[in-house]
Amino acid sequence: MSLRSRLSISLAAGALLAAAAAVPAVANDDWEDHRSDWGHHHPENPRLYKGVVTASTLNLRSAPNRGSQIIRTAHKGEIVSIFCKTPGQTVGSNPLWYLLTDGTWAWGAARYIDNIGPAPRWC
């Protein structure tokens, strides 16, 4: 391998490490610390989004499908924090699922969660 190739690989690896270091770690404590000052979209941490549960009871699951393990339930009117969205099993003609970060990381069908503010980013 030539010196130029090795230098290019080293520079690319360094850039990836620098980019990874710039992304803040996400911890449940971080979500709790900022719960009281959330707006529609938290300007200091663009990874926070909010939604409101519209189903009387919503099962939150370990994967974005109805066959996965139920981790907890959410109830109508509950405000939830959304980390991101992804396609999953279609529920009521809506294929999107939200990854929620309220104390546990669990998936909720977007069909039963209305966004408050902007739509979440893709996972």
Q: Collect all residues with Cβ–Cβ distance below 8 Å to 12 and sequence separation of at least 6.
A: none
For residues 88 and 104, which has the higher predicted lDDT (pLDDT)?
A: 88
Exposure string of 67-77, with b = 16+ CB inside 10 Å and e = fewer, is: ebeebeebeee
Q: Which CATH superfamily is domain 27-116 in?
A: SH3 Domains (2.30.30.40)
What is the pLDDT at residue 53? 98
pTM of the entire predicted model? 0.64
Beta bridge partners of 59: 73
Q: Lowest-pLDDT range, 8-22, 51-65, 93-107?
A: 8-22
The per-residue pLDDT for range 17-39, each reduced to its tens digit, is: 333 333 333 333 333 333 333 33
- Give CA–CA dist 100/39, Å, rounded: 17
Whether residue 56 contacts residue 75, with contact meaning beta carbons closer than 8 Å, is answered with: yes
Q: Encoding tokens for residue 39?
A: 């707006």
